Amino acid sequence: MSIEDRRKKLLYRATYRGFKEADLLIGGFAAAHIQHLSEPELDEFEALLDLSDRELYDWATGKAEPPANVLGPVFERLRCFKLQPSA
């Protein structure tokens, strides 16, 4: 699979998480950053997408403390990501 195909697949997975808030946050992050992630960063992002929707959302929004194995550069960028209001 090419890196562009992989990015498209991950963008889709990030956008359709299972509940609207996660779709907006995680999908919004992917839409804003997926084209700039390196292959190792894509690996980390893919591992994040394999986690439970609710837990990942709660960890990213600070509602719960993430376990050490989740912490990494991509997760930190997700945690700092703020959705831009739509016009």
Residue 27: give its domain's CATH number.
1.10.150.250
- When pLDDT is cut at 50, 70 and 90, the band that residue 84 belongs to is low
86 located within any domain: no
**pLDDT tops 80 at residue 85:** no
34 located within any domain: yes
**What is the tally of structural domains in the chain?**
1
- When pLDDT is cut at 50, 70 and 90, the band that residue 1 belongs to is confident
Cα 80 to the center of its chain, rounded Å: 11
Higher pLDDT, 87 or 60: 60
Q: Which domain holds residue 57?
A: 3-80
Residue 22, pLDDT score: 92
Q: In whole angstroms, what is the distance from residue 29 CA to residue 74 CA? A: 10
pLDDT per position as a tens digit, 29-83: 999 999 999 999 999 999 999 999 999 999 999 999 999 999 999 999 999 998 6
85 located within any domain: no
Measure Cα distances from 40 to 29, 48, 84 in Å: 17, 13, 27
How crowded is the C-beta side of 7, counted as CA atoms within 13 Å? 16
CB of 24 within 8 A of CB of 53? no
